[in-house]
Amino acid sequence: MIRILHLEDDAADAELVAATLGSTDYEVTRVQTEAQFCSALRGGGIDLVLGDFRLPGFDGMEALQLVRRSAPEVPFVFVSGVLGEEAAIEALTRGATDYIPKQRLSSLPAAVRRALHEADNARERRKAEQRLALMSFALDSVHEAAFMPDESGRFLYVNQEACLSLGHSADELTQLRVWDVNLDVPMTLWRERWRELKTTRSLTMPGRHRTRLGRVIPVELYIKYIEYEDRAYALTLARDVTERRQQEEEAARRQQELASLAIEVSLAEERERRRIAAQLHDEVGQNMLLAKMKLALAESASNEEIRAQELAEAVRLLDQSIRGVRSLTVELVPPVLAGAGLEAALEWLARRMEVNYGLKIDLVDDHRRKPLTDELRSVVYQSVRELLINAAKHAGTKEVRIELERVGDQLNAVVEDHGVGFSFSEGLPATPKEGGFGLFNVLQRIRHLGGEVELVSAPGRGTRVTLCVPLQV
């Protein structure tokens, strides 16, 4: 039922209007005064207002303004016999929907149907605008760039994130087409992509977006096929995956590093086994073989003096073998490290390095307590030893300084020389090839146990390596 409010002081005219409308779909309520009119408006539920232009103490223009203020969506049609052309134009300008002279009431039903139809269309447009405004607000609130191209590829809508990510204004982007932005969908491929989307209704695919300044951004696209008012669109959300790609590349690089490290560790272990085997063969093995020969000679000697000499020589060779084995054991795991601690072990190492490599090592300790786990103590010792061997072989100097300092709950062990130094890319070596296996191995071992390594070096300016490890507190 369509409710019509009729403002009319003449009962005969009111009956004539009701008879002209005639349809049982209309429920017409007649009011005569301003108070009655305002009360009916407040009651709500009015679908259309018919109003005379002149009434005692109240006129149609005032009624029109009341409707526009309280119910702007309700159509207002003037039905009057005294409304002139100028007044009619003014009424339409102020928001009246139509004007029907009382002398031509036959056109009233069509005018009412037209006014109601226009009001319905206006309400639908407002709802659509509200939905679009809500969608725009929602899409502007997401972190992904949103685009809405039509079948021609032209962008009809973009959100704020799309403008920010590509460096274009919204007006600029709506002048572009998909292939102006997405490098992976050229114009020749767009029709094929559109047909695929229309068939599947949604797509997820990688892409590359080009910004206004020419930078290429890797994106992941989520595309939904939608239809609205007989037109089709591709609602597209584009997520910048630059950081994810970098993480994936970093993970792949790390995996490659670990593979390289595993190979290098295996080779290093093999080299160490060969070194130990050679030392055992050349020193211990040869001495043991000679001692065996001396014992055999002593056993077969008929002369007591010769027998005594051979036994003495065998004892000497056995003593050398024992010292060789002991020296090798101490070199691998010095007992002083577990018994007296890191500082004493490094003092012992400094003396050994001076004997074996001619290095003059200045060891400086702050003499503060530095509690370390057995594993960390061993790793720091082996790392310092590795750095000293590197300095002896490559630094081109015979003077090295070692500093031990406690900083809060951390031990800083510094190995510094003033030798030839070297150049390296910004940051610490990422692979064994960049910094040599020794330095790379030190870095990996220290980091594995929660520490860090700081490296400062330059050609002709020496090298300073700081091992930073957590103390056991």
DSSP, collapsed to helix, strand or coil, labels residue 146 as strand
Q: Are residue 346 and residue 422 in the same domain, yes or no? A: yes
Same domain, 323 and 270: yes
CATH number where 343 lies: 3.30.565.10
Residue 270 lies in a domain: yes
Is residue 148 included in any domain, yes or no?
yes
Query: Is residue 344 located within the same domain as residue 305?
Result: no
* Together in a domain, 217 and 286: no
CA dihedral 101, 35, 23, 116 (to 10 degrees): 70
Same domain, 426 and 341: yes
Domain membership of residue 135 (yes or no) is no
Classify residue 103: in a domain, yes or no: yes
User: Is 131 inside any structural domain?
Assistant: no
pLDDT value of position 58:
87
Residue 438 and residue 385 in one domain = yes
Residue 43 counted as domain residue: yes
Q: What is the DSSP letter of 1?
A: -
- Please identify, among 186, 214, 240, the residue that sits at the C-terminal boundary of a domain: 240
Q: What is the DSSP letter of 231?
A: E
Q: Which residues of the chain have pLDDT under 50?
A: 426-437
CA–CA separation, 450 vs 28, rounded Å?
Answer: 86
Q: Which residues pair with 55 in a beta bridge?
A: 58
Give the pLDDT of residue 183. 94
For residues 359 and 403, membership in a common domain is answered with yes
Per-residue model confidence (pLDDT) at position 394: 87
211 shares its domain with 119 = no
Domain coverage including residue 162: 142-240
Q: Which two tokens stand for residue 81?
A: 């016999």
Cβ–Cβ < 8 Å for 217, 209: yes
Shared domain check, 375 and 419: yes
Show which of 332, 350, 378 is a domain's final residue. 332
Counting the structural domains of the chain, the total is 4
Task: Tell whether 165 is covered by a domain.
Answer: yes
Kindly report the CATH number assigned to the domain that includes residue 44: 3.40.50.2300
327 in the same domain as 376: no
DSSP secondary structure of 84-144: -HHHHHHHHHTT--EEEEGGGGGGHHHHHHHHHHHHHHHHHHHHHHHHHHHHHHHHHHSSS
| H or E segment and range at residue 317 | helix 304-332
- Half-sphere exposure (Cβ direction) of 427: Cα atoms closer than 13 Å: 4
In whole angstroms, what is the distance from residue 78 CA to residue 99 CA? 5
Nearest to 100 by CA among 113, 83, 120, 75: 83
**What is the DSSP annotation of 402-455?**
EEEEEETTEEEEEEEE-S------SSS-SSHHHHHHHHHHHHHHHHHTT-EEEE
- Are 345 and 235 in the same domain? no
Any idea what the CATH number is for the domain that residue 170 is in?
3.30.450.20
What pLDDT is attached to residue 330?
A: 65
245 located within any domain = no
pLDDT of residue 428: 47
Let me know whether 303 and 175 are in one domain: no
Given 91, 123, 155, the domain boundary residue is 123
